[in-house]
Amino acid sequence: MQVDITQSFELINLLPPNVMKISESGITQPQSIVDLHKAGFNGFLMGEYFMKHQRPEIACAEFINNVQLLMNS
């Protein structure tokens, strides 16, 4: 299995406009969430990125804070 965020960008235009779009592949940077949101995604599924950290709850909180900073800038 290969994880690659570019697949989300390639597939979004193939999805019907009236469905919720969730990206779940290879998200490792807060900027990726911003870019996916701008492309039309409604949600994001992440897991592996946080599980690689000793304190996933802290990594998650920091990631969310960074996304919010980027979205508000």
pLDDT of residue 25: 73
Note the pLDDT tens digit of each residue in 41-59: 999 998 888 989 999 999 9
Classify residue 54 as left (phi > 0), alpha (psi -120 to 50) or beta: alpha
Rounded-to-integer distance, Cα 62 and Cα 30, Å: 10
pLDDT of residue 26: 83
User: Whole-model pTM?
Assistant: 0.86
pLDDT of residue 1: 59
1, with CB counted inside 10 A (0-12, 13-18, 19+), is: exposed
pLDDT of residue 47: 82
Note the pLDDT tens digit of each residue in 1-39: 577 889 999 999 999 999 999 998 789 999 999 999 999
What is the domain partition of the chain in residue ranges? 6-71
